[in-house]
Chains A and B, each alone.
Chain A
């Protein structure tokens, strides 16, 4: 109750400050989803309040973006998605504080877009601004005509946020012969100068092509699962597996890559690629310590956007290739994926129909997301959608039982 009163107090104070020229924008939303697995269970009943408080004065500005998720069966979740200060100079901008930093030209795929970690509490189903977590960082941009040089320093590493125990979106653990024990003692990356992350980007937007070149010295946002087996060696001829401990652990990654986007007649052609050095993959090779091997890999994409009969169409092909591959590695040497989007507006843009699909080619599995959005009034929309998972394995197939239909009512102000 005290917490609720303090939130209300903050809201009243903020509302009072509006008179002082603060810009208050945001939305209130109700999101209700039902699983289609036969029991008609609710997959989500969520009420959201998202507020953007902003002000700018000549060369300085700030933004604070508090949000609240209220669930029928969980504690109120409150946070700050962003909270930063801007300083604008003649050809340099500085942004200091918690911020979302988005790079690359890919849609819905993360290749060079690795600065802000992901909130996968609800897998990839949330809106992209909700999947992106703000990170406390210093960002400096230097502008020269249509060229931009960007440096980002993140003092403290933030990992991907995974769904809590018991969530239907919790990724499946690999099958072990005995029930493993998860030991988180190696998971934290100590906050120190040596452990900070740094990224650099050069980008240009020109009449012929837009491109970005980037490099990063980062931590792998997703922990590697180090597997330690306990063996009973009383009979050396026949050792018996007595237990397994899994240690999630983050490793350093060095990344170099780039992306481009250009028009080719009626098409927009997009590409993005990155070389990752220092990634750890799980292996079934019994001789390998802790069942992990370090391998570099390439991740790249080619995309095409086109408009046909007022339908905006977009397709992407994505491949991840592990270099110096070893057959014992759990992942495939080449992981292939495709995405497809079709969207069209009707009734003077009051009705939008959209269809988005991720297709995991290796596992013949997909996530299909049809949506119908209708604007009842300016800033008030009703969304009817479905998330359909097909296949049985892989990133999407593992959620085959989580097909759902949902509605979202959203009031933007």
Chain B
């Protein structure tokens, strides 16, 4: 009898766990990617290499600081290269409340003024790169409808393949397809389709590593097939949980720069 009960329980446990695995939705996968823990704070150097159709390179260098304050995540970026944008800084406050838009400011050294800017244009490309602000991780999972297309291996990693279609029909992408590594919740590859449904660009994660116990994406490459233009984005000198002070994310620091 005991044997029968044990067998029954075992079967139930398998069934429940199998059911639970089946049950994960596309939205849950994308939320896990969006909410992947990357520490309380991070500072890093960001280098973007833009390559046009003629193979000409342009380099952008940024020093960025990020800190999670609970209900709000604050990010500040100091532009180092090219020379004509040096000392420009950009600050973003992103709220957990999905109904609240991000607050953004830019400091332009020529004007010596911190200007509030609208965060509405997340489809804008970041510093002439192939990444929009949304592509850089600002887009909230709830803005799209997600569907698991299949599960497959990519670069030796078990992945969910998720199709995301925007709730807003006017959005710049008609759909994206993301390969998400199952146990790490990293989007390893992403394909973007334009408003007309035509293939636009591919994002590939070329390097990621565990730093202080957190999976951090270190190198990505976005190739825009339509424009024949690409951007390689690399993080270096990554420091996690170093205790970045609260006052790093203020108007004072935007104006002071990296002094």
Contact = CB atoms under 8 A, between A and B. Distances in A.
B143 interface: no
Given A267-B118, A378-B81, A205 B259 contact: no
Given A128-B111, A307-B121, A148 B50 contact: no
| Residue of B50, B59, B124, B259 with most partner-chain A CB within 10 A | B259
Contacts of B124: 307, 310
A306 B118 contact: yes
Contact of B116 (A132, A145, A263, A306): A263
Q: DSSP majority for the B interface?
A: mixed
B83 A412 contact: yes
Contact of A412 (B84, B227, B250): B84
A242 interface: no
Interface residues of A, number: 47
A210 B116 contact: yes
Main secondary structure of the interface of A (DSSP, over half): strand
Interface stretch (B6-14, B16-24, B125-133, B157-165): B125-133
Interface in B31-71: 50, 52, 58-59
Contacts of B95: 207
A127 B82 contact: no
A381 to B, nearest CB: 7
Interface stretch (A69-77, A183-191, A243-251, A342-350): A342-350
A378 B59 contact: yes
B93 A93 contact: no
A102 B111 contact: yes
A262 B259 CA distance: 28
B196 interface: no
B147 interface: no
Interface in A253-271: 261-263, 265-268
Contact of A268 (B110, B118, B259): B118
Contacts of B251: 146, 148, 203, 205
B250 A143 contact: yes
6 contacts: A100-B112, A143-B247, A207-B72, A268-B117, A377-B58, A379-B83
Given A377-B58, A410-B84, 13 more contacts: A27-B83, A61-B259, A128-B110, A129-B111, A132-B112, A141-B252, A145-B250, A146-B250, A148-B252, A205-B105, A205-B114, A207-B93, A263-B119
